[in-house]
Amino acid sequence: MLQNLYVKNLALIEEAEVEFGQGLNILTGETGAGKSLLMGSVSLALGGKYSADMLRSGAKSGLVELTFAVEDEKIISQLEKLDIFPEDGCLTLGRRLMEGRSISRINGETVNMGTLKDVASLLIDIHGQHENQTLLHRKNHLVLLDLYAGEEIHPLREKMAEAFHRCRELRRRAEESMLDEKSREQEASLARFEINEIEEAELAPGEDVKLEELYRRMTQSRKLTEAVAETHQYTGDDARGNASDFLSRAIRAMQDVSEFDEEGSQLYGQLLEIDSLLNDFNRELSDYAKSFEFSEEEFQEAENRLNLINHLKAKYGNSISEILEYCEEKKERLTELEDYDQFMKDLNEKIEKAGQEMRKSADRLHRIRKKAASGFSRDIQKQIGELNFPDAKIEIRIARTEHCSANGNDDAEFYFSANPGEPLKPLGNVASGGELSRVMLAIKTVLADEEDTPTLIFDEIDTGISGATAGKVGEKLRLIGKSRQVICITHLPQIAAAADCHFLIRKETGKGAAETKIEPLGGEQSIEELARMLGGANITDRILESAREMKELAKSET
């Protein structure tokens, strides 16, 4: 759910903040007050197109932030796949706007635009007049139908996609394997050479890492040997004047003290322990020095072995494991080439089997979609009728395409008739803007429980409607608001009356500049705003009573 919107220095907005609520949030205001600007701010925060002229005049930078409460475990899981983690159940999407560029952040961490848009798509769906155009594109009709089909179709779509990609990969492999006898022999000869070269090297996993460490020690052995020898000279060399010699003298001097009292005895014991530790250190230092003793022959062997491994890496892989994997692949390929006819026969059988599985999945998808199309059409039809569109008819038609894709071989299209006696025709060819708005709202109502997006924004959903139809639209928006958060901008009082939370957007002129303000409206304030929308500047007691009645009626109907 969208909890908070904060905007600073954007067009007419100097600074504004909105705390949205659950259910249906309605935003109203006079024409030119900045309602579209507010939705533009949301779009910017979600990765929309930005240009420097959007900044408030005189401002060097602007900011838009959206704070969401994220509770749905499914959405949290999807966010985690994007390496995004809510903090205390909240996620803040922000965009700092500057001249010529912008910076996007999620919970204060900078992200690229792709990540911002991916996260936004999980949290919010903005549905404006332009989004109605999605209904004009046939490719979107099948997406909506599959969404309606729900869990019944999801595993089948995954199975279909898997079968399609497997079949395509097998066909690609068959095309690449179509070789004449001369080409096969050339490839087989090269494979034998490469296999022999790798196997002769008798590589062991991890050998290169150990060799590189050994070679490093060898090349630095002289410098390290001198340092170890100097250390031994200071701590335990046979000559006098080293730490061991001085420590022995100290022990002899301290021996009489040790017999005097308990404290002296303890200090003497500590000195003996230091002597023991130093002797242990010198023995280990001596062994460590021996590890740097290499013959010229050993050095040459290590260098030659490393050169061989690096030569093979340059040809076959970046590591020994990759080289060995390459060798196994070449062995498999050589087997295929040496028994080519059987290999091609087996491959074609696999292609046929994969094709059968693909067609079988496509057929099952088709049957489910046909059934879902009937139910979806019926449910949309019912919702359209309740939107004061009683004579409109809608039908979803499914056709089979010639070739399969990862989504099957179905093509869905919405057919529509607005008036009685008119034949059903493709929706995109016959529906007006207002009709498209109502059809989309009907679809959103039907899919309210299927879609995962917790927040829906409707901008200009009231295009081309008025009167009783507007009241029906308000009912539908309030109904959708029972299962998810809805934010709607409207200029119609019938829709505004259905609000659970009502906000007024107004423009103030002062200090020589216009500024857009946003404020929440209480119960009586909301009624006054409805009265303004009903009667304009002259608000009478009768208009106020009509507004109050409209508000009460909207609540009782939902």
Average pLDDT value over all residues in the chain? 84
Percent of all residues in the chain with a pLDDT value above 90, rounded to a whole number: 25
User: Mean pLDDT throughout 180-188?
Assistant: 77
Find out whether 98 and 44 touch, Cβ atoms under 8 Å: no
How far apart are alpha carbons 132 and 461 in whole angstroms?
Answer: 9
The per-residue pLDDT for range 383-427, each reduced to its tens digit, is 888 887 788 899 999 999 888 889 999 999 999 888 888 889 888
Indicate if the alpha-carbon torsion angle 50, 123, 145, 128 is positive or negative.
Answer: negative
Beta-carbon contacts of residue 97 (< 8 Å; ≥ 6 apart): 9, 10, 44, 50, 54, 55, 61, 62, 63, 64
- The larger pLDDT score, comparing residue 531 to residue 465, is at 531
Comparing 12-26, 150-164, 250-264, the range with the smallest average pLDDT is: 250-264
- Give residue 431's pLDDT: 64
Answer yes or no: is pLDDT of 278 > 80. Answer: yes
Comparing 170-179, 356-365, 376-385, the range with the smallest average pLDDT is: 170-179
User: Mean pLDDT throughout 117-141?
Assistant: 73
Residue 407 belongs to a domain? no
Find out whether 189 and 376 touch, Cβ atoms under 8 Å: no
The per-residue pLDDT for range 298-325, each reduced to its tens digit, is 778 888 888 999 999 999 988 899 999 9
The per-residue pLDDT for range 465-490, each reduced to its tens digit, is 777 788 888 888 888 888 888 988 88
Residue 154 belongs to a domain? no
Comparing 175-179, 184-188, 383-387, the range with the smallest average pLDDT is: 175-179
The per-residue pLDDT for range 496-519, each reduced to its tens digit, is 999 999 999 888 876 667 788 889
User: Mean pLDDT throughout 432-437?
Assistant: 71
Of residues 130, 127, 132, the one with CA closest to residue 416:
132
Answer yes or no: is pLDDT of 210 > 60. Answer: yes
Answer yes or no: is pLDDT of 339 > 80. Answer: no
Residue 379's φ and ψ, nearest 5 degrees, are -70, -40
Burial label for 419, CB within 10 Å (0-12, 13-18, 19+), is exposed
- Give residue 289's pLDDT: 72
Using DSSP, state whether 346 is helix, strand or coil. helix
Find out whether 405 and 435 touch, Cβ atoms under 8 Å: no
Residue 90 belongs to a domain? yes
Q: What DSSP line would sit under 193-246, residue for residue?
A: HHHHHHHHTT--TTHHHHHHHHHHHHHTHHHHHHHHHHHHHHHT-SSSSSHHHH
Answer yes or no: is pLDDT of 532 > 80. Answer: yes
Find out whether 93 and 111 touch, Cβ atoms under 8 Å: no
Indicate which CATH number applies to the domain containing 511: 3.40.50.300
> How many structural domains are present in the chain?
1
- Give residue 282's pLDDT: 80
Residue 137 belongs to a domain? no
Cβ neighbour number for residue 462 with a 10 Å cutoff: 25
How far apart are alpha carbons 95 and 27 in whole angstroms?
Answer: 23
Residue 360 belongs to a domain? no
Q: pLDDT band at residue 53, thresholds of 50, 70 and 90?
A: confident
At 318, list the tokens: 């970046």
Find out whether 539 and 531 touch, Cβ atoms under 8 Å: yes
How far apart are alpha carbons 367 and 274 in whole angstroms?
Answer: 86
Q: pLDDT band at residue 130, thresholds of 50, 70 and 90?
A: very low
Residue 192 belongs to a domain? no
How far apart are alpha carbons 176 and 171 in whole angstroms?
Answer: 9
Beta-carbon contacts of residue 163 (< 8 Å; ≥ 6 apart): 354, 357, 358, 361
Find out whether 24 and 478 touch, Cβ atoms under 8 Å: yes
pTM: 0.63
Answer yes or no: is pLDDT of 121 > 80. Answer: yes
Burial label for 283, CB within 10 Å (0-12, 13-18, 19+), is exposed
- Give residue 105's pLDDT: 92
- The larger pLDDT score, comparing residue 111 to residue 178, is at 111
Find out whether 123 and 452 touch, Cβ atoms under 8 Å: no
Q: Which residue has the tokens 């423009």?
A: 507
Residue 545 belongs to a domain? yes
Residue 234 belongs to a domain? no
- Give residue 410's pLDDT: 93
User: Mean pLDDT throughout 37-63?
Assistant: 84
State the residue range of the domain holding 29: 2-128+460-556
